[in-house]
């Protein structure tokens, strides 16, 4: 389970919409299973079907999180036109069993946000508790 404040869910959705038609991405930091801060990152692929974090921005987030006594506990990206399910590429690129993988889908009229965890090489659904 991952606990995410409503305003951060709203922030992820707003970023995903702002970056259409491309995928948006970012990191979430916090403590334990509770997200406290959203860090939007640049999708250096600038693509509607792929994303890659900007490595320098990613490093800055790591530094900020450490300075605040927090950890990166989740990453997120958007699917502009497909459901909130991990693609084959998402599964292939997932490597960290200690973080949650969030996907926000804008395929339907209402945005959908889902979380997944890496278990035995597969991304399986993980419950989101909005706090």
**Residue 37 φ/ψ, nearest 5 degrees:** -145, 140
Which CB contacts under 8 angstroms, 24+ apart, belong to 62-66? 64/29, 64/39, 65/29, 65/37
**Residue 64 is a binding residue for Zn ion (CB under 5 A):** no
Among 33, 45, 49, 90, indicate the residue that binds Zn ion (CB under 5 A). Answer: 90
Q: How many Å separate Cα 107 from the centre of its chain?
A: 17
Q: Which residue is nearest to Zn ion (CB)?
A: 90
**Residue 82 is a binding residue for Zn ion (CB under 5 A):** no
Among 87, 88, 93, 130, indicate the residue that binds Zn ion (CB under 5 A). Answer: 87
Binding residues (CB under 5 A) for Zn ion: these are 87, 90
């Amino acid at each position: 389970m991952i606990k995410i404040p409503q305003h951060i869910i709203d922030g992820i959705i707003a970023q995903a919409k702002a970056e259409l038609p491309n995928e948006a991405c970012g990191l979430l930091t916090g403590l334990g299973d509770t997200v406290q801060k959203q860090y939007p990152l640049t999708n250096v692929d600038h693509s509607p079907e792929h994303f890659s974090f900007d490595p320098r921005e990613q490093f800055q987030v790591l530094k900020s999180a450490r300075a605040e006594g927090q950890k990166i506990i989740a990453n997120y990206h958007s699917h502009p036109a497909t459901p909130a399910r991990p693609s084959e590429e998402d599964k292939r690129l997932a490597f960290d069993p200690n973080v949650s993988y969030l996907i926000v889908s804008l395929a339907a009229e209402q945005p959908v946000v889902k979380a997944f965890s890496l278990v035995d090489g597969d991304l399986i659904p993980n419950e989101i508790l909005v706090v």
